[in-house]
Amino acid sequence: MINTYILLYFLLKQYNIDMAVAQRRTSKTKKGKRRSHHALKIPTITFCPKCGKPIRPHCVCSYCGYYNGKKILNI
């Protein structure tokens, strides 16, 4: 059985097509700098003043439908 990548390589070679190759390997510093934003953050939680359930700040409460003392959603 012929490997698909080997087949592709010979096919590209036949038509003089070069595949993209990285110029140099990515340094540890560059890799670390890129990944410095990858850490997961704990979402901010506040409590609804109407019902006291935990909600995201500046969002309508999904339990009682209130926002800023007004009823927004009919739940």
Of 48, 67, 69, 75, the one binding Zn ion (CB under 5 A) is 48
CB proximity list for 71: less than 8 A, separation 6 or greater? 65
Minimal distance in Å, beta carbon 41 to Zn ion?
A: 24
Stretch that binds Zn ion, among 4-12, 20-28, 35-43, 55-63 (CB under 5 A): 55-63
Using the structure block, give the residue that is written with the tokens 């890129």.
34
- CA-based nearest residue to 48, from 58, 31, 61: 61
Q: Is 67 in the site for Zn ion (CB under 5 A)?
A: no
In the complex with Zn ion, the residue whose CB is nearer, 20 or 61, is 61
Q: Is the Cβ–Cβ distance between 29 and 35 less than 8 Å? A: no
Binding site residues, Zn ion, CB under 5 A: 48, 50-51, 61, 63-64
